[in-house]
């Protein structure tokens, strides 16, 4: 069994390193921009998404921008076999996995009392089980290296019990992701691996049922001191910091990126 790290100094990130980014195949998603920013920061990037066409488009875009150390893997993060196959392919094609950014997720506008079990279980499967399966597979690769960075994605909906689009089912799943982050931070910290979780407010993507109209953006901006929804680039920049050497002492944090809507 691998023993936990006892170093008194930080574990530096290796020069040759791979970040696995799930949810990278959304045409207007946070994952697409995050993959781009990490590639620009010197990471080899494994792009993972259930949407094969979207993934191909993002891969072509990144290759067109000159990024060579890439692998696009179509996978369902809610499936154990799919996750294991994805990591086998990544292990065979790219440098060691040191980063995991779990952005794949699905929203759910159905209130708890109207949700059938199948829908409830799918929301949990993608947002919670998927984050767990990816964390477990990534941690198995990071532990022998004594260094790793894991970023999962919750939502301010987890604090509010629901938002303008998603309701209590999604809030349940995203609250679980915060618990997973804290457990992971405790359990993997001794191995030099940090686990943090993002809690974005409304971001201008297609997860809420298509591109946001200006009218919808305006109504979603109510109560936000900055008076606007966020952009995927503003999430990607935070991820890039968490996956930098300078981000090495942040662990177990829930990072709200919501224009100041929640202050506590
Ligand atoms: N956009 C927002 O307002 C907002 C706010 C808070 C949190 N979030 C969270 O941020 C993350 C990214 O969301 P986004 O806004 O970029 O959404 P998006 O819909 O653009 O991207 C999500 C991606 O996840 C992929 N995906 C869905 N199920 C999958 C599965 N089983 N396996 C692999 N991939 C799967 C989708 O194909 C899609 O490309 C999500 O976890 C979301 O819950 C988003």
Domain range summary for the chain, segments of one domain joined by +: 18-257
Alpha-carbon torsion 59, 62, 65, 68, what sign?
Answer: negative
Catalytic one of 128, 170, 196, 229: 170
Residue nearest to atom 40 of ligand 1 (CA): 105
Q: Does residue 1 have a pLDDT over 70? A: no
Mean pLDDT confidence for 240-251: 97
The rounded distance, in Å, linking the Cα atoms of 255 and 238 is 9
Which atom of ligand 1 is least distant from the CA of 79?
A: 31
Tens-place pLDDT, residues 149-197: 999 999 999 999 998 889 999 999 999 999 999 999 999 999 999 999 9
| pLDDT(8) > 80 | no
* CATH class label, 18-257: alpha beta
CB of 90 within 8 A of CB of 73?
A: yes
Measure the CA–CA gap between 45 and 100, rounded to whole angstroms.
Answer: 10
- When pLDDT is cut at 50, 70 and 90, the band that residue 210 belongs to is confident
- Atom nearest to 77 CA in ligand 1: 32
Check if 203 has its Cβ closer than 6 Å to any atom of ligand 1.
yes
Nearest residue (by CA) to ligand 1, atom 11, is 103
Q: For residues 83 and 259, what is the distance between their CA atoms, to the nearest angstrom?
A: 34
Å from CA of 108 to ligand 1 middle: 11
Percentage of residues in the chain with pLDDT exceeding 70? 96
Our answer on whether the CB atom of 123 is closer than 6 Å to any ligand 1 atom is no
Query: Does the beta carbon of 256 sit less than 6 angstroms from any atom of ligand 1?
Result: no
Helical (H) or strand (E) element with 139: helix 130-142
249 is catalytic: no
- The residue among 17, 18, 16, 48 whose CA lies nearest residue 32 is 48
Distance from residue 29's CA to the centre of ligand 1 (Å)? 7
Structure tokens at 84: 């294991």
Sign of the four-CA dihedral 106, 112, 113, 119: positive
Q: Which two tokens stand for residue 219?
A: 């109504």
Position with higher pLDDT, 212 vs 200: 200
């Amino acid at each position: 069994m691998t023993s936990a790290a006892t170093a008194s100094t930080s574990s530096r990130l290796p020069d040759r390193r791979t970040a696995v980014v799930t949810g990278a195949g959304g045409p207007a998603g946070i994952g697409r921009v995050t993959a781009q920013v990490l590639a620009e920061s010197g990471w080899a990037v494994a792009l993972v998404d259930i949407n094969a066409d979207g993934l191909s488009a993002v891969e072509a875009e990144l290759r067109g921008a000159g990024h060579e150390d890439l692998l696009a893997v179509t996978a369902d993060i809610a499936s154990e076999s799919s996750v294991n196959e994805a990591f086998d392919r990544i292990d065979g094609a790219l440098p060691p996995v040191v980063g995991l950014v779990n952005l794949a997720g699905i929203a759910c506008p159905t209130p708890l009392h109207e949700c059938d079990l199948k829908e409830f279980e799918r929301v949990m499967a993608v947002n919670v089980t998927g984050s767990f399966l990816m964390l477990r597979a990534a941690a198995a690769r990071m532990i022998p290296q004594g260094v790793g960075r894991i970023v999962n994605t919750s939502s301010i909906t987890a604090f509010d019990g629901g938002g303008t689009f998603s309701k209590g089912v999604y809030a349940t799943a995203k609250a679980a992701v915060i618990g997973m982050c804290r457990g992971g931070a405790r359990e993997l910290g001794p191995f030099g691996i940090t686990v943090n979780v993002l809690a974005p407010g409304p971001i201008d993507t297609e997860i809420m049922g298509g591109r946001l109209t200006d009218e919808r953006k305006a109504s979603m901006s109510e109560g936000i001191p900055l008076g606007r929804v966020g952009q995927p680039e503003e999430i990607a920049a935070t991820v890039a910091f968490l996956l930098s050497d300078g981000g090495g002492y942040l662990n177990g944090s829930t990072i709200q990126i919501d224009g100041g809507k929640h202050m506590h």
